[in-house]
Every structure is written in C-alpha cells, then in structure tokens.
C-alpha cells in the first residue's frame, strides 16, 4: 500500500459525502468484495462485484435522509491495507431519528481500484484482523 492507495480511499469517501455515486462506484474494481459483519444494520455477508457492492451501499443510504455523511477520524497505510476509522451520522429516512456510529474499515487497493472492503465495529477489531492476516 502507499499514500496513493490512501488517497484512492479518501476520494471514495469524498465522493460519497458529496453524493457523487458514479465517482464513488468508479473507485471500485469490477470484482470488488464487501465483507459486512453479522451484527450490521442491514444485510450481512460477503458481497461480490461492483453491482452487488453498489446495491448494498445504495440500500444503506436509502435508509437515511440525504444529509447522511462520514467524518474521518483516521486514514492510514498499514502496509497491505488502508485503515479508515470514521464517524457517520444522519437522520433515519422515515422517523427522522438521529443515527450516529463509529466504525473501522479495512480497504485493499489493487491496480488503483478498491478491491476489498471489510467493516468492523471499531479500530481494535480491525487492527486485530490485520495482525491475524499477517501471521498467516
């Protein structure tokens, strides 16, 4: 990984916050994978391919009002992955109830495109996953 890979991930978040879905989707490799934990707000599991990953995120954002956004607390290169820790906040689509959370993400970038995204409830879980993968 490199600063260039971190920048690709940051561009993805910027595009998402700006509502530029086309640019956000363009950050993905055709065979991108999204890994969502069992306790996720929406569907959990592994989603493969740009269309499936885009659909998952589309469903996520449709559950909230358009002002939903991410605030990045941390974005750093961990040699073979990019770690992002972000707060996200907005209002639920039907009730208008405020929703806030903090999550960690591991991004794998290949040939200038995001190839894999893993969601974690916090940075300690994400860092543990990185340590375990490095032991293999």
**pTM of the complete model:** 0.90
| Separation between Cα atoms, residue 83 and residue 78, nearest integer Å | 7
| Predicted local distance difference test score (pLDDT) of residue 26 | 96
Give me the tens of pLDDT residue by residue for the chain, a chain 136 residues long. Answer: 589 999 999 999 999 999 898 999 999 999 999 999 887 667 889 999 999 999 988 887 777 777 888 899 999 999 899 999 999 887 787 888 888 889 999 999 999 999 999 999 999 999 898 888 877 6
How many of the other CB atoms lie within 10 Å of CB of 62?
Answer: 11
Q: All domains of the chain, ordered by start, with CATH?
A: 3-135 (3.10.450.50)
Dihedral sign computed on CA atoms, order 110, 112, 117, 122? positive
| Predicted local distance difference test score (pLDDT) of residue 57 | 85
Alpha-carbon radius of gyration of the chain = 14
């Amino acid at each position: 990984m490199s600063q260039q890979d971190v920048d690709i991930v940051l561009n993805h978040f910027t595009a998402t916050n700006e509502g530029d879905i086309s640019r956000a989707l363009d950050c993905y490799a055709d065979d991108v994978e999204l890994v969502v934990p069992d306790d996720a707000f929406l569907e959990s599991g592994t989603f493969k391919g740009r269309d499936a990953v885009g659909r998952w995120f589309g469903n996520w954002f449709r559950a909230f009002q358009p002002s939903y956004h991410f605030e990045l607390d941390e974005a750093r290169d961990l040699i073979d992955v990019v770690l992002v820790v972000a707060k996200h906040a907005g209002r639920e689509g039907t009730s208008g109830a405020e929703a806030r959370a903090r999550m960690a993400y591991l991004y794998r970038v290949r040939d200038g495109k995001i190839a894999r995204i893993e969601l974690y409830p916090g940075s300690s879980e994400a860092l543990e996953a990185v340590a375990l993968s490095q032991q293999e």
